[in-house]
Amino acid sequence: EVQLVESGGGLVQPGRSMKLSCAASGFTFSNYGMAWVRQAPTKGLEWVATISYDGSSTYYRDSVKGRFTISRDNAKSTLYLQMNSLRSEDTATYYCTRDTRLGVPFAYWGQGTLVTVSS
């Protein structure tokens, strides 16, 4: 069974940093592209970043480019999101997601971790 378990969320002040982790199990992590999707309170879904199966390619939405870094450790079956210079508009539940074998994004979702950016 595919399992994605996010951690690392919490309350952080504007301008500070936070690193999210996503522990994957139930599949061969190194075979799949992964992504982060966020959802602000009472709002819809917003794609944040994607990383290829081997980490060689990464993609970001414009609003986080230069501030967020997606990475992965295939030996540890873990996905990361390093978030710097956090803003109030980054407040959201962050979901870790996995592609299908054929590259369809967001096939599997974790339970999410809430990041609140506030002073």
109 forms part of the interface with another protein (CB under 8 A): yes
80 forms part of the interface with another protein (CB under 8 A): no
Q: How far is CA 28 from CA 41, 91, 98, 99, 104, in A?
A: 32, 31, 11, 12, 16
Least distance to another protein, CB of residue 45, Å = 4
108 forms part of the interface with another protein (CB under 8 A): yes
CA angle 29, 30, 36 (to 5 degrees): 65
Helix (H) or strand (E) holding 80, with range, is strand 78-83
Cα–Cα distance for residue pair 6/96, rounded to 1 Å: 7
Nearer to another protein, 32 or 108 (CB): 108
9 forms part of the interface with another protein (CB under 8 A): no
Q: Two tokens at 38?
A: 């966020």
Nearer to another protein, 60 or 80 (CB): 60
1 forms part of the interface with another protein (CB under 8 A): no
112 forms part of the interface with another protein (CB under 8 A): yes
Of 92, 89, 96, 33, the closest CA to residue 62 belongs to 89
62 forms part of the interface with another protein (CB under 8 A): yes
Please give the residue ranges that form the binding site for another protein (CB under 8 A). Answer: 35, 37, 44-47, 50, 59, 61-62, 95, 100, 104-112
